Amino acid sequence: MASPAAKTYVCATCGKEYQRNTHLRRHEATHVETLRFKCQYCQKPFARSDVCRKHSLSCARNYDHGQVPELRRGQKPRACAACFHSKLSCDKASPCGRCVTRNLACRFRGLPDVSTSDHKRNDTSKAPLYRSSTSQSDAEMSFLRGLTNPKAETMLECFANNPVVNENIPDMDLDMGPTEDSSPSLNEEDLTFIPWAFPPFFNDQDRELYHDSDSAATSQGCSPSVPALTAGGFNALEKFSKIIIRELSDVHSNLSATEPSYSEAFDPEVAQSVFAPHSLRNFTTTFFRLSHVYVPIVHMPSFGSEETSTALILAVVLAGATRSPPRDDALSAKGFLRLAEEYAFRHLKVLMAKEAAATRSAIEALQAALLIHHVQFLMNSVETRRRNRTQRLPTLVSAVRCLGLSQIRHSSNSTPSQFIHDEACIRATTWVSLADWHQAGLFHVPPVTSIKEIRCDLPCPRELWDTKDVTEHHVELYRQQSLRSPHCQSVKDFTEALMRDHWDAISSIAVSAHLMSTLPAVSPSILRAISRWQQLWEAVSEKAGQDCLQMTGMSRHCKEICYLIQKIVQVSSSGRKLPPYLDRIGHDSLAELYNFILER
C-alpha cells in the first residue's frame, strides 16, 4: 500500500515548495520590500530581525561593542545601575541619595563606564571608530558650501530660499494693520513626546506640536502674543522709534570724535525711514517669522511692552531687516549695524558696571548684544569679523560668567514668572556658547568657552518658551518630564556621555585638539563621539516628519557638520602638509574653510 504523499507548502509569490510551514514563512519574508531592521553599526537593512542580529555580531564596523544587547519589550529601567541590581528605589538624582549614603559610584544604566575607558582606548584606536562619511556627495554638502562661500556678501545668502518659516506669526510685509493679541494654547499633550536628555536643538523637533489647532489659528489671521504686534504695542513702537534715532545720533557723534577709523555718515532722514514705527513692526514680524527658529532667545510674549529695553528693540529690528525683502528701508538698515553694535555693547558694559545680578535689564542687554553680534558675524567683512571675534565675543562670555548664568537650573518650586526668567538666562548662556563654538570651527581659533563650565539646564521646548500664559501646571509638567533623564540635564552632561572620557568640548573639540597638538591621542574618542551623535540624530529624525525637521534650525544640517569634523580629524592626523585652513590659527575670512571643504 502506497504511503500518503507528504504535505507541501507553496509560496504564493514565486511558487517555490517547502515541507515545513516555518520555512515557508521565512521565505515569504524575503518578498517583503520593507526592510524594517538595520545594523546599528553599518546601517545595512534587513527584512528579518534574527538575520540582522546575526550580521551585527560579525559586522566589520562593530568596534568595542562586545555582545549586541538583546532588545526587550516594556519600559526600560530608569534607576541607576547600583539601585537596579540591588532592587532598591532610586530618586534618579545625579548622584542618587542611596549611592551617596552607601559610598558607591552612581552610574545610570546605558551610559558608558568612565573608569573602563582608559584601558580600552588603545584597542579602539586600532579598529574603525565611525561610519565614514567620505562618500558624502556634493549635493549633501551644498549647505556648507553655500554658507562658507567667501564671494557672497553675507552668509545669509544661502538662506534666501529657505522654507523655514514660523507660520504662527502673520506676514505684515504688505503694510497690514497691527493684529489683536491672540496666543496659541499649549496643551498637556504637547509636552509628552520630548527627548529631554538631548541638547537644545533636539528639543525643537521630535514631538507633535502645533498641528491642526495652530494651523487653523494662523489661517484666521491670529498671531501669538507679541505685544509689539498689537494695537497697544504699535503706540509703544512710536516712542521707541524716537528714542532709537536719538540714541544712535549720539553714538555717531561720539564715535566721530573719538574713533579715527570710524568714517560712516548718519543721515537723519534715512534714520526716520528705517526706524519709523511701521518699519519697526514689519522688521519685528520678519525676525520672529524667519530668525527666531535659529536664535530663540527673545521671549515673544513680553517683547514690545514698555518695559522692554531699547537696545533689545533695536537688535531685533535690525536682525529682522537683514532677512527682509530688498526694499529701501531694509537695505538702508544695514548701514546702521556699526552704530547699533556700539550702542548695544556700550549699554551692556554700563549695566555690568552697575550691577552683577541677573536682572531683566541685564539679561535683555545681553540678548541685544548677542543678536547684534550674530548679525555682524554673518557679514563677510574682514574688519567686522575680526572686531567681533577679538572684542565682542569675549565681552559676551565675560558677561555670562559675571552674572553666573552658566550655573542656573530650574527650581522645583519655581513660579511661572521665575521659570521664564531662569529660562531667559539659560537660553542666553546656551546661544552665547554656541556662537563661540561655531566661530571656533569656522575660523580655526580656540574657543573662549569650555563645555565643562556650561552646567545650566538645557533650554525648555520652544513652544513652552513662546507661550503667553505659562501656568504652574506647565512648569510642573516640564519638571516631571525633565526628571526622566536626570543624568543628561546639561550640555556638559550630554557631552561627557558622548565622549566617555571627560572632555571640555565637542563641537569645537577637533579644532582644540589640533591646536593643542593632542589630536593623535584623542582622535579615536572624537570619531567615536561623532559616530554616536550621528546614530542619535538618525534615530530621532526617523521618527519626525520633514516639517518638524525643518523647524530645528541649523540642527538639520548636522550631517554635514559631522562630516566636516571627521575631515578635520583625518587631515590633521594624516601626516601630510596641512591645508591653509589648518596651517594657521585665526582667519578673518571664510575662504580657507570654503577651499578646505572643496578639497578631495
CA pair distance 594, 600, nearest whole angstrom: 12
For residues 389 and 262, membership in a common domain is answered with: yes
Q: What is the pTM of this model?
A: 0.65
| Same-domain status, 427 and 360 | no
d(CA 448, CA 500): 23
Helix axes 231-258, 277-286, angle to 10 degrees: 100
Contact 198, 488 (CB under 8 A): yes
What's 409-456 look like in SS3? CCCCCCCHHHHHHHHHHHHHHHHHHHHHHHHHHHHCCCCCCCHHHCCC
CA–CA separation, 209 and 190 (whole Å): 5
Question: CA–CA separation, 25 vs 19, rounded Å?
Answer: 11
Question: Both 532 and 584 in a single domain?
Answer: yes
Total Cβ atoms within 10 A of residue 114: 15
Strands 45-46 and 17-18: unpaired
Q: Is 198 part of any domain? A: no
Residues 147 and 171 reside in one and the same domain: no
- DSSP reduced 3-state for 379: strand
Name the one residue in this structure whose C-alpha cell is 515569504.
28
The reported pLDDT for the residue numbered 168 is 64
Phi-psi sector, 87: left (phi>0), alpha (psi -120 to 50), beta: left
Burial class (CB in 10 A: 0-12, 13-18, 19+), 9: middle
- 439 Cβ partners below 8 Å, 6+ apart? 377, 389, 393, 445
Report if residue 366 sits inside a domain.
Answer: yes
Question: Does any domain span residue 203?
Answer: no
Q: How many domains does the chain have?
A: 4
Residue range of the domain that includes 444: 124-162+404-600
Say which residue the cell 541685564 belongs to: 362
Cα 329 to chain center, whole Å? 31
How distant is the alpha carbon of residue 360 from its chain centre? 24
DSSP track, 273-332:
HHTSHHHHHHHHHHIIIIITTT-TTS-GGGTTSTTS-HHHHHHHHHHHHTTS-S-HHHHH
Each residue's pLDDT, cut to its tens digit, for the chain (600 residues) gives 555 566 788 888 888 888 888 888 878 777 765 666 778 777 788 777 778 877 877 776 665 444 545 556 666 677 888 888 777 888 877 678 788 777 777 776 555 444 444 444 444 433 344 444 444 444 457 777 777 787 777 777 766 656 566 666 666 544 444 444 333 334 433 333 233 333 343 344 334 333 333 333 333 333 447 889 888 888 999 999 999 999 999 999 999 999 888 888 899 999 999 999 999 999 999 999 888 888 999 999 999 988 999 999 999 999 999 988 888 899 999 999 999 999 999 999 999 988 778 899 999 999 999 999 999 988 888 898 899 989 999 999 999 999 999 999 988 888 999 999 999 999 999 999 999 988 888 888 888 998 888 889 889 888 889 888 888 888 888 887 777 665 567 777 777 676 655 443 444 556 666 666 666 667 777 788 878 777 777 777 777 666 666 666 666 677 787 888 888 888 887 778 888 888 888 888 888 888 888 876
What CATH code is carried by the domain that includes residue 11?
Answer: 3.30.160.60
Angle between helices 360-377 and 310-321 (to 10 degrees): 20
The Cα-based distances of 587 to 152, 234, 272, 377, 453 in angstroms read 17, 43, 37, 13, 26
Cell numbers placing 266: 548718519
Specify the pLDDT at position 101.
Answer: 78
Q: Are residues 438 and 534 in the same domain?
A: yes
What is the model's pLDDT at position 264? 87
In this structure, the answer to whether residues 518 and 564 fall within a common structural domain is yes
498 torsion bin: left (phi>0), alpha (psi -120 to 50), beta (else): alpha
Residue 269 lies in a domain: yes
Say if CB 309 and CB 364 are below 8 A apart: yes
From the list 485, 329, 491, the residue with the least C-alpha distance to 406 is 491
Q: What is the 3-state secondary structure (H, E, C) of 176-228?
A: CCCCCECCCCCCHHHHCCCCCCCCCCCCCCCCCCCCHHHHHHHHCCCECCCHH
What cell numbers appear for 308 in the block? 522692554
- 447 and 373 within one domain: no
* Buried residues in 24-43 as b, exposed as e (16+ CB within 10 A): beeebeeeeeeeebbbbbee
> Are residues 303 and 362 located together in one domain of the fold?
yes
300 and 348 both lie in a single domain: yes
- The pLDDT score that the predictor gives to residue 191 is 34
* Residue with grid cell 582606548, as numbered in its chain: 121
Structure confidence at residue 66 (pLDDT): 46
Of the three residues 348, 377, 400, the one that is the final residue of a domain is: 400
Whole-angstrom distance, CA of residue 371 vs CA of residue 315: 6
CATH number of the domain where residue 106 is located: 4.10.240.10
Strands (E) across 35-141 are located at 37-38, 45-46
| 17, containing H or E segment | strand 17-18
Burial 564-581 (b: 16+ CB within 10 A, else e): bbbbbbebbeeeeeeeeb
Q: Specify whether 250 is located in the same domain as 300.
A: yes
- CB neighbour list of residue 424: distance below 8 Å, 6 or more residues apart: 297, 299, 363, 367
Among all chains, which residue has been given the C-alpha cell 548701514? 335
At 18, which helix (H) or strand (E)? strand 17-18
d(CA 556, CA 388): 26
Q: Is residue 541 part of a domain?
A: yes
212: how many CB neighbours lie within 10 A of its CB?
7
Domain boundary among 338, 367, 400: 400
Residue 133: name the closest of 47, 64, 61, 52 by CA: 61
What's the confidence (pLDDT) of residue 430? 93
Looking at the fold, whether 390 and 536 belong to one and the same domain comes out as no
In a domain, 80, yes or no: yes
> What is the radius of gyration, based on Cα positions, of the chain?
27
Contact 568, 552 (CB under 8 A): no
CA distance 485 to 491: 13
- Contact partners, residue 378, CB within 8 Å, separation at least 6: 154, 155, 156, 322
The answer on 499 and 394 residing in a single domain is: no
Per the domain annotation, does 199 fall within a domain? Answer: no
Residues 6+ apart with CB under 8 A from 269: none
Q: Is residue 213 part of a domain?
A: no
